[in-house]
Every structure is written in C-alpha cells, then in structure tokens.
Amino acid sequence: MMARSRVRVLTIRGTGRRRTPRCLDGHVNDTVTRHDTDADGLVRVRPREDADLADCVRLLAEVHGRDGYPLIWPERPVDWLVGSAPLAAWVALLDDRGEDHIVGHVALARCGPGDVAPDLLRAREAGPDERDPRPVVLGRLAVDPAARGRGVGARLLTGAVEYARAHGLRPVLDVVDSDRSAVALYERLGWTPLGSAEQVWGAGQAVTIHCYAAPA
C-alpha cells in the first residue's frame, strides 16, 4: 500500500487560523437514486458494487499504464480502491453493443491523518462561529483512456459533489503536480485551489501535490 509521511505545506491561499482537525464520524449511506446518463444514452453513472471491483482494478491498470496514476502501483489494488474509510463510490458504464463496460470510477472517503486538503480548507474558511466545513476526500478518479472525450470524468465528479452537498459535506482532493490533465479538469469545473504541499510516498519518493475544494 502507498504510505504518505513527512508532509510540508508549501503554500496556502486564503486566511484563517488553524484548528484541530475534526473528521467526519460514521458512515454515509452509499445509496444514490440519481443515475446520470449522457446525451446519447451510452454512458451512465451508478453506485459501485462489490462485483465491480475486479473490473475497476483492470481499469486502474489501464490508467496506470497510460498516465502513471496511481503514481505508485498498490500492492493490493482492491484495498486501495476501497480505501480505509469509505463513504461512497461510483462507476461509469459504457454501453457497447448492448453490454455495459466500466469506463470510470470515483470515490468519497472520510478524511484521515495523512490528508492535507481538509486542513487547508479549514484554515481557509475558519470563521468566528467555528463552524466546520465538514470536508470529505474525493479520490480514486480514473477514466478508461479509450472512453475519454465523452465527459466521463466530469460526470463522475459532478455526481460525487452533488451527493456530498446533499449530505452537508464539502469535497476536497489532492493531485500530483505531474498530472496536468487532472489539474486542468478540476480547474475547468470550478474547483478552488487551496494550496500545495510536499509529501514523501513509499520508499522515500518526494511528491508535490496540489489541493482543491469543490465549488461552494
């Protein structure tokens, strides 16, 4: 599994005082009633099921081979996809000659001790009422290279954000500096830059990450 340690914040945009992190407790119901379909009816988004995980790992392997995401291939890819504190996850399905194929994946998770973006959001939005913005971490976003250009990534992100808002949560994420296409997607969809940080992953690999918050 990938490990993150020795975090150093490089830049923080916005003001506000630091507070002790308060992560979301409990589990949010992962039932989603909205199934999103593209204009031609070929791509739809639905909640991920356990039976999807093998196909999701195959999708992740395609993305890793093409884009280098995840940066370090996990020893247990199913465990990595599910995460240690899952809230909800979705897959995008492409109808190919009457048969559905998984072409995208995204997940929401409770924030953990190695996550920088939740602290940056709290520092940015700290106010006199001490109200917590209730961040949740969006991640595990992957789109099949062969299915790109259909808006699959944008549709997955939009659905996850809408779900989080319905539960009073604010999604945040981080992205490695080398993944410029992902950075462009988040900024095109109006995600707010929170700052950047240096982390050390795995066997001493230094990585620069950029953190974002979903539009308020």
Host domain of residue 96: 24-171
* CA 1/CA 92 separation, integer angstroms: 25
Q: What is the per-residue pLDDT for 25?
A: 38
Is 142 inside any structural domain? yes
Q: Evaluate whether residue 211 is within a structural domain.
A: no
pTM: 0.81
Can you give the pLDDT at residue 30?
Answer: 42
Query: How far is 123 from 138, CA to CA, in rounded Å?
Result: 19
Let me know if residue 59 belongs to a domain. Answer: yes
Count structural domains, the chain: 1
With respect to residue 38, please indicate whether it lies within any of the assigned structural domains.
yes
Mean pLDDT by 10 residues, the chain (216 residues): 47 37 39 47 91 98 94 95 96 88 98 92 79 92 94 95 97 94 93 94 84 95
CATH at residue 86 = 3.40.630.30
For residues 192 and 38, give the distance between their C-alpha atoms in angstroms, rounded to a whole number.
Answer: 26
**Assigned domain for 123 exists:** yes
- Report the b/e string of 113-122 with b at 16+ CB within 10 A: eebbbbbbbb
- For residue 136, being part of any structural domain is answered with yes
Whether residue 181 lies inside any domain: the answer is no
- Asked whether the beta carbons of 2 and 70 are under 8 A apart, the reply is yes
